[in-house]
Structure 1
Amino acid sequence: MSELATVAALRATASGDAVRLTTVRHQHLDDAPFVLVPLTLAGEACAPLAALAGTDPEHPVLLTVRRPHDRTERFGFVESLAGLLLPYFDACLAAPTEPYTAGRGKDKEQRERPLRAPQLLVPNAGGITYTRLLGRLTRLRAAEGPHAVSPSVPLLGKWLTWFADRAEFPGSGLLQTMTRLLSAHWATGQSPVENANLASLLGWIAPPAGRTGAETAGEREDPAAWPPAGPATDPVFDRTLDELIARYDGTTGQRGRDAAGRAIDHELRAQMLPTWQLMWQGFRLLRELPPGDHVAGRWAYDRRLFAEYAAHLDEDGRPQARRDHAVGAARRLARMEEAMERYKAERAYDDPLVMAEYELTGEAFTGVVTARDEERTVPGARPGSTLWRPTLTLHCELPVPMAAGTDVKSPARPGQKAEILEVLPDGPGAVVVIQLNGGFNNKRKPPAPEGTLADLGETLTFTSIDPSGVPSSLPAEEDTPWTHGGPPQPYEPTDEDAEEVWE
C-alpha cells in the first residue's frame, strides 16, 4: 500500500466512509459483461455446486448440481455453463471488426479484430481460482471413448484456462474480480483481507441513506443476512445443504425427488442472489467513473488476443499444457513484468492522484511555467548545423530530487520528449529548466505549432516514467538459442493428461 493509499485509508477510518483513490476508472467495463457467481462443495477444491450466471441483471440463470459427488452431474453442470458462455464468445466474434497492424518491421501485416470481446466478472479472487481449476479439470477431457464428455466441455475448459491466464496480467480486462476493481478505486477503513468481503466493501463505498460506511460494513458481516460471495459456502448453510442432499438421495418417487431438487435449487439461489445483486451494484458504481485515456488501448489489445486465441482454437485446437516448459515460463514472466510496469505508468499518466505517488518517491514533479525560450538552438552533429531545442523554466513549490540529464515526459503532452538541463534550489522548492527534444508535429524550426509548447502560467507535471519505454527483451520462441534448449516442441496431450482427477 502506497503512502497516499494509507492516508486515504486513515481518512476513511476517521470519517466512516470510503475515500476515492483515483479520479478516473482504470479498467474497461463492457456494456453487458458476463457475471459469474460460483459456489463449490465444501471440502473440495473445485467441485461445482451451483452458479448464477449471465449478462442480464434482472434474470440470472441458475445452474445447480443436486448430487455434487456424482461425476455425470458435475460434467452436466460444465456443459450447461458452456451453453451460456460459448454462445456469448461467438456473439463477440461475430461483432463488426476493425483493422490493426501486427508485427514489426518486415513482419508487419494487417489483421482484423472484433469490436467486442467477452468480459467475465467474478466476485473475488476465489472466483479466478475457481475459473483456473475448472479449466484445468475440463480442458483435457476426451469427447470420445470411455468416460466421454460433451465436446463443449473441453472447449470451455480451454477458454477458462485462457481467461485465468490473462487475469494474471495487470491491465487486462477479460477476467476481473469485483473486489479488486472496487479496492483499486476506493479506500476503506478496513484491512485488505476484509475488503475481500464484497458485501462489507460495498457497504463502505455505497452505504444506505442515513448510515455510514463503517456501520453498514459491520452489519454486513452476518453470513445469514449476507452470505459469502463464494466459491466457499458458510458452514451453517453447509449443514442445511447436507440435509437437503440427503433427502434428495433418499427419495425414490419422481415427484418427491423433483420437490427435493427444487428445495436444493431454492436454497442455493438464495445463497447467491445477494452477491449477484452486489455485483451489479458495483458494476454501476464503476461505470459512473470516466475511463482513463489508456483504457481503450488496453482493451483493444485484449480484443486482439481474444481474436487470436479464437483463431488458434479453429486452426489448431490443442489445449494448454499441464505445465509450462522452461522457455514458455520465462517468456510469460517477462511479459507479466512488462505489463506491470506499463500498467503502472499508464495509470499515472491518466490520473493525477496516481501520479502524486510518484512525486512522493521522487520520480515526478509539478511546477508552473515561468519562462520559455522558443527560439533556442543547440549545435548539431554536423559542423555548422543546429538543432531547434526550446526550453521551459518551471517553478516548483517542493524540492526536485532529479538530476540534470534525466529524460522526462509530461502527461499533458506524452509524445514530447524532454530532458532536464538544470535544477536550482529556490527556497523550499526548486527551479527546473527543461529542454524539449521533439513533439512539434515534425516542425524543425520555430514557431511551434499551437498547443505543442506550454504557455506561461501553465501548471505541468514531468516524470521519468514512460508507458512506451518498456521493450521486450527476450527473443521469439522459435529463435530460442541451442544454449537454452532450442525452440520448444509443441505440446501434445497424452492419455495420462486426460486422466487428471477432479478434487
Structure 2
Amino acid sequence: MSTLTALARAQAFTSGRAEPVATVRHLHLHEHPFVLVPLAMAGEANAPLAAMAGTAQSSPTLLVVPQPRNRDQRFAFAASLAELLLPYVDSFTGVAEPIAVDRGRDVRYRLVDAPQVWVPNTGGVDFLKLFGRSTRFRQVDGDYPVPPGVPLLGRWLTFFAQSAEVPGASLLLNSVQALGLHWATGQSSAEDAQLAALLAWITPPAGMSGRDAALEAEGQAAGPATDPEFDNKVLAPLMAADDVDGLTEALREVLQPTWDQMWHTLALLRALPPGARVASRWDADRDVFSAFVANLAEGGPPQPRRDGAVAAAARLHRLENAAARYAVQRAFDDPLVMAEHRLAGTAFAGTVTLADPDRIDDTGKRPVLRPRIMVATTEPVRVDPGATLTSPARPGQKAKVISVTATPTGSDVLLELSGGMGRKMVAEPGSVPAVGEQLLLTTLSEAFRPGAAFPDASETPWTHGGPGGDPPAVVE
C-alpha cells in the first residue's frame, strides 16, 4: 500500500466515506458491456450453480443448474451461456478499419470495436478461467458429446481470463478491482473484496456512514461461491425435493442484488472522465481481440493447457512490460497518482527560471540542437546528474540532468533537452519550456520497451521441453 493510499484510508475511516484516489478513470468503459454474475456450488470444484447475465440492467437472464453434480446439466448450462455470450462477441467481428504501419508503407486491419465483460470480483475471473479450461477441449461428437457452442465458449472464456492478467487491459474487468483503483475505503483490503460493502463506503445511504452501511451489507453474497449456511438451509432442501421453481427463485434473490450493484458500479465509473491514455490501451485491446478472431477464423487450435517454457517466459516478459507501461501511463494521466512519485522524490514540479532554446552543442562530430533550461523547485529532488527525466506535457522529449544546486527554498535543476523539437537546428515554437512555465518532471518514461529475444523451443534443454524431453503429463 502506498503512503497516499494509506492516508486516504485513514481519512475515509475518519469521515465515514470512501476517499477518491484518482481524478480520472483509468480503464475503458464500454457503452454496451456484457455483465455476468456467476455462482458456483460451495465445496464443488468448478460446478456452476447459476448465473445472471445480459447487456441491460432491466432484463437479465437467469441460468440455473438444478443439480450441479450432473454432468449433462453442467454442459447444458454452458450451452445456454454460450447462446448469450457468443452472439454478443460476434456482434463486434463484422467491421474492421485500416491501420497504417511501417511508416505508411503497409496497412493492417483492426476491428473497430471489441467486447467487454464484467464480473463482480477476482473470484469471478477465476471461475471463468476454470470453466473455460473445462469446456474448451470438449468434443461435439464421439463419446460424451457436448452442444456445439460449448467448446467455442470455453475458448472465449479462456481468452477473456488471460486478457484480465494484462495490467491496463479492459476486455474482462471486475467491479471490486475497478472501484478499488479509484476509491479508498476505511476498511481492510480483505473487506473491500466484498462488492456490497465496498459500494456502501463509496455511496452510503442518506444518514448513514460508510462503516455502518458496510456492516449492513456484509451478508450479501457476490459469488462465485455460495455461503455454506445458504447451502444447508436453502439449497439442500430444494435440491432434495427437485423443486426447480423454488430453486430458481431462491437463486434469483441471491443474484439480483449483485446484478444491481454491478450496474451501480458502471454508473459510478462512467461519471469519471477517462484518462488521456485509456483510448490507446483500448486500441491495444482491439488488436488482441482482432488477432484472436482471426485465429478462430483460420481454424487455430484451442489454447494449450499450459505454456511451454519459452512461451511462459515470453508471456511473463510481456506482462512485466505491460505493468511498467501501465504504471507510467496512470501517473502521467492522473495528478493524484503522480503525487506518490513526487512524494518519493522521483518526480518534482517547478518553475522554469532560465531558458536557452537556441543552444547548439558542437562538441561531437556534428552540431546538434541541445537547449538548456533551469527549473526551480521547492520539492525534494532525488535524482543525480546524468539522470534522464521526462515531462507528461512533452513525453517525447528527454531532459538530462546537468546539475542540482541547493537553494534556500529548495533546488535549482539544470537540464539539457533533446528530442521532440523538430528536425531543424531551430526548435519548433512551444517545444522548449519558456521562462515562467510550470513544469513537472519525472524519472518515469513512456519510451518503447523492446521485447526480449527468446530461443526457439527446439533450442531449449530437454528439461524445458527441448529435444529428447517429453512434456509432463497433465491430469485434468
TM exceeding 0.5? yes
CA spacing shift, 1:483–1:129, aligned 2, 3 Å: closer
Q: Distance in 2 between matches of 1:232 and 1:338?
A: 33
Q: How does 1:85-234 map to 2 (within 5 A)?
A: 85-94=85-94, 96-101=95-100, 109-221=106-218, 223=219, 227-234=220-227
Aligned AA for 1:417?
A: K
Q: Distance in 2 between matches of 1:109 and 1:375?
A: 37
Moved >3 Å (runs of 4+):
483-489
SS of the residue aligned with 1:137? helix
Q: Distance in 2 between matches of 1:441 and 1:280?
A: 47
Deviation digits for residues 15-71 of structure 1 (CA, Å, limit 9, x no counterpart): 111111111111111001111001001211210100000111111111011121211
Quote how far apart the aligned CAs of 1:467 are: 2.0
SS of the residue aligned with 1:157? helix
Aligned AA for 1:231?
A: P
Q: Distance in 1 between matches of 2:241 and 2:464?
A: 57
SS of the residue aligned with 1:93? coil
CA contact (8 A) 1:390 1:436 kept: yes
Quote how far apart the aligned CAs of 1:369 are: 1.3
SS of the residue aligned with 2:63? strand
Deviation digits for residues 145-174 of structure 1 (CA, Å, limit 9, x no counterpart): 010011210111011111111111101111
Task: Give the aligned partner of residue 251 of structure 1.
Answer: none
Aligned AA for 1:228?
A: A
| Residue 445 of structure 2 is aligned to residue 466 of structure 1 | yes
Q: How does 1:23-102 map to 2 (within 5 A)?
A: 23-94=23-94, 96-101=95-100
Give the stretch that moved more between structures: 212-221 or 295-304.
Answer: 212-221
Q: How does 1:368-383 map to 2 (within 5 A)?
A: 368-382=351-365
Task: Give the aligned partner of residue 433 of structure 1.
Answer: 414
Quote how far apart the aligned CAs of 1:482 are: 2.2
Task: Give the aligned partner of residue 300 of structure 2.
Answer: 317
SS of the residue aligned with 1:27? coil
CA contact (8 A) 1:407 1:419 kept: yes
Q: Distance in 1 between matches of 2:278 and 2:341?
A: 20
Aligned AA for 2:21?
A: L
Task: Give the aligned partner of residue 482 of structure 1.
Answer: 459
Q: How does 1:447-458 map to 2 (within 5 A)?
A: 448-458=427-437
Deviation digits for residues 206-242 of structure 1 (CA, Å, limit 9, x no counterpart): 1122222222112212x2xxx2100111223212111
| Residue 251 of structure 2 is aligned to residue 268 of structure 1 | yes
Quote how far apart the aligned CAs of 1:87 are: 0.5
Quote how far apart the aligned CAs of 1:472 are: 1.3
Q: Distance in 2 between matches of 1:457 and 1:345?
A: 26
Quote how far apart the aligned CAs of 1:481 are: 7.0
| Residue 322 of structure 2 is aligned to residue 339 of structure 1 | yes
Q: Distance in 2 between matches of 1:294 and 1:201?
A: 27
CA contact (8 A) 1:207 1:213 kept: yes
Aligned AA for 2:82?
A: A
In the alignment, structure 2 segments of 5+ residues that lack a partner are: none
SS of the residue aligned with 2:73? helix
Task: Give the aligned partner of residue 236 of structure 2.
Answer: 242
* Equivalenced residues, count: 470
Task: Give the aligned partner of residue 348 of structure 1.
Answer: 331
CA spacing shift, 1:13–1:429, aligned 2, 3 Å: same
Q: Distance in 2 between matches of 1:392 and 1:262?
A: 74
Q: Distance in 1 between matches of 2:23 and 2:223?
A: 30
Task: Give the aligned partner of residue 263 of structure 2.
Answer: 280
Q: Distance in 2 between matches of 1:325 and 1:430?
A: 52
Quote how far apart the aligned CAs of 1:457 are: 2.1
Q: Distance in 2 between matches of 1:97 and 1:314?
A: 15
Aligned AA for 1:78?
A: A
Q: Distance in 2 between matches of 1:215 and 1:90?
A: 44
Deviation digits for residues 391-420 of structure 1 (CA, Å, limit 9, x no counterpart): 221111023111111111100111112211
Q: Distance in 2 between matches of 1:365 and 1:24?
A: 21
Indicate the RMSD between aligned Cα atoms, in angstroms.
2.2
Task: Give the aligned partner of residue 343 of structure 2.
Answer: 360
In the alignment, structure 1 segments of 5+ residues that lack a partner are: 249-259
SS of the residue aligned with 2:49? strand
| Residue 382 of structure 2 is aligned to residue 401 of structure 1 | yes
Quote how far apart the aligned CAs of 1:324 are: 1.1
Q: Distance in 1 between matches of 2:288 and 2:391?
A: 30
Q: Distance in 2 between matches of 1:22 and 1:386?
A: 44
Quote how far apart the aligned CAs of 1:487 are: 12
Give the stretch that moved more between structures: 205-214 or 142-151.
Answer: 205-214
Aligned AA for 2:143?
A: P
CA contact (8 A) 2:395 2:446 kept: no
Aligned AA for 1:17?
A: R
CA contact (8 A) 2:200 2:217 kept: yes
Q: Distance in 2 between matches of 1:70 and 1:438?
A: 65
CA spacing shift, 1:431–1:172, aligned 2, 3 Å: same
Q: Distance in 1 between matches of 2:424 and 2:205?
A: 57
Aligned AA for 2:149?
A: S
Quote how far apart the aligned CAs of 1:362 are: 2.6
